[in-house]
């Protein structure tokens, strides 16, 4: 597939397709904050020194209970992904993504009251329900497939996906700073809810399932997008029913599934456990914890643009095919973090700075997965990108569900470096 075809001169260089990518960026960032701020919140809720406000109560939850809280989101999320892909195909990404984000935001606003009333079990129940509302990944794939012309697919898709990296930074840094302020840990849930609700309003006003449905698009841009998609569809099979047999017997689909599961295992471990590690092993206070929990994901965000620029050059000059590019970036995203994390084993106990550097690098280089494997579903089948994304997300969320539970078994004392 040629990802660098010429864009007609009559088409605006900045148009509604870019606005859709921007809305996806914001939506993914908001949903990532709703998903990941729990890793900081749990630290704040169980450590009385994390807040300047004495009003919110703190809890003496065991590591096992914390692992249930951290993983419960993914119980619901794993169940939601495959149906979400079908719903996007059936009703369009605009409605499905709107209702999912709205539900998650409202549940976030109710979190504090739920914890006050029912403790950690209520927290798990709320997180599970939020996971059921997480329909972001299938919807984004389907929306990008409907809006991104072939010549701009990698560029617009990668930009939209960096909302995930932005959300990581906001979840770690923002949640830590809020927890250490007068708002205390309840402020984490309220701020995340506000971020999601604002996006819902913008999405309702400006989002559109397809270019042909958009109210504010110019004729030249509409003709460019619709024409490109129609040409892509003519190259594919005429029958548009979901090819279930083809999906489940496809070797590239299974290769992609392995890559996505491996990436999910490593990244989720860092997302859910890094604040606890920095607090328990490295003894960082809440504000320092917020900074150094966010720093790896800030580097990840920056590196995503570096990888994108390099990919753009490689494709434009035809030094590398799109398939080779995907495979190369996926290899970097998996092998580099694994090698760096293994090196932590030989780092001395007193070398705190080196530990922080290695942890930051391990997360930062993994952002190659955005271009390497996350966008590959659109390459494999633009017409069924939402279905494929839902299938992939179902399995990656199983990985995300298991990682906190495994840590809960291995780590009984979060202050023990050996554990």
pLDDT at 129: 95
| pLDDT for position 156 | 84
In this prediction, residues 253-261 reach a mean pLDDT of: 88
pLDDT of residue 11 exceeding 50, the answer is yes
Work out the percent of the chain whose per-residue pLDDT is above 70: 92
54 falls in which pLDDT band (50, 70, 90)?
low
Give the pLDDT of residue 10.
65
Please give the average per-residue pLDDT across 131-158, as a whole number: 81
Other beta carbons within 10 Å of 196: 27
Query: Fold match between 15-236 and 243-418?
Result: yes
DSSP secondary structure string for all residues of 174-242: IHHHHHTSTTTTHHHHHHHHHHHHHHHHHHHHH--SSGGG-SS--HHHHHHHHHHHHHHHHHS-S--S-
CB atoms within 10 A of CB 321: 14
Question: What is the percentage of the chain residues whose pLDDT exceeds 90?
Answer: 17
Give the tens place of pLDDT for each residue, 341-382: 888 878 776 788 888 888 889 888 888 887 888 777 777 777
For the chain, domain boundaries: 15-236, 243-418
Mean pLDDT of the region 100-112: 95
In CATH, the architecture of 243-418 is: Up-down Bundle (1.20)
pLDDT for position 52: 52
pTM over 0.95: no
Q: How far apart are CA 74 and CA 78, in angstroms?
A: 6
Phi, psi of 96 (to 5 degrees): -65, -45
Q: What's the pLDDT tens digit per position in 216-250?
A: 787 777 777 777 777 766 665 555 677 778 888 88
Q: Which of 401, 400, 419, 399 is closest to 410 using CA atoms?
A: 419
* CATH fold of the domain at 15-236: Growth Hormone; Chain: A; (1.20.1250)
Residue 113 pLDDT exceeds 90: yes
């Amino acid at each position: 597939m040629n990802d660098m075809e010429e864009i007609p001169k009559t088409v605006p260089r900045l148009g509604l397709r870019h606005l859709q990518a921007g809305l996806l960026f914001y939506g993914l960032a908001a949903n990532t904050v709703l998903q990941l701020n729990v890793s900081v919140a749990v630290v704040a809720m169980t450590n009385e020194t994390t807040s300047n406000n004495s009003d919110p109560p703190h809890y003496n939850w065991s590591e096992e209970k914390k692992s249930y809280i951290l993983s419960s989101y993914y119980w619901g999320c794993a169940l939601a992904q495959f149906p979400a892909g079908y719903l996007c195909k059936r009703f369009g990404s605009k409605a499905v993504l709107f209702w999912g984000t709205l539900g998650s935001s409202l549940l976030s606003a109710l979190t504090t009251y739920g914890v006050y009333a029912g403790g950690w079990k209520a927290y798990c129940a709320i997180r599970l329900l939020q996971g059921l509302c997480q329909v972001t990944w299938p919807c984004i794939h389907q929306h990008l497939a409907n809006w991104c012309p072939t010549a701009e697919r990698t560029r617009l898709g990668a930009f939209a996906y960096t909302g995930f990296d932005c959300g990581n930074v906001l979840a770690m840094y923002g949640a830590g700073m809020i927890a250490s302020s007068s708002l205390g840990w309840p402020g984490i849930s309220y701020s995340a809810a506000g971020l999601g609700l604002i996006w819902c309003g913008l999405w309702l006003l400006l989002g559109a399932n397809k270019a042909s449905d958009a109210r504010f698009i110019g004729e030249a841009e509409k003709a460019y997008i619709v024409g490109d998609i129609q040409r892509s569809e003519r190259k594919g099979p005429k029958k548009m029913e979901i090819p279930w047999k083809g999906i489940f017997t496809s070797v590239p689909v299974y290769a992609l599934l392995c890559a996505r599961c491996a990436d999910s295992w490593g990244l989720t471990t860092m997302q859910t456990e890094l604040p606890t590690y920095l607090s328990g092993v490295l003894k960082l206070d809440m504000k320092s914890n917020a900074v150094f929990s966010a720093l790896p994901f800030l580097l990840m965000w920056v590196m995503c643009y570096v990888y994108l620029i390099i990919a753009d050059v490689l494709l434009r000059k035809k030094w590398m095919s799109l398939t080779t590019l995907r495979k190369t970036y996926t290899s970097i995203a998996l092998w580099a973090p694994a090698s760096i994390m293994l090196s932590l084993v030989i780092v001395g106990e007193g070398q705190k700075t080196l530990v922080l550097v290695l942890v930051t690098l391990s997360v930062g280089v993994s952002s190659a997965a955005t271009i390497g494997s996350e966008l590959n579903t659109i390459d494999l089948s633009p017409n069924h990108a939402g279905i494929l994304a839902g299938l992939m997300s179902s399995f990656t969320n199983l990985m995300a569900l298991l990682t906190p539970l495994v840590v809960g078994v291995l780590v009984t004392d979060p202050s023990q470096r050996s554990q």
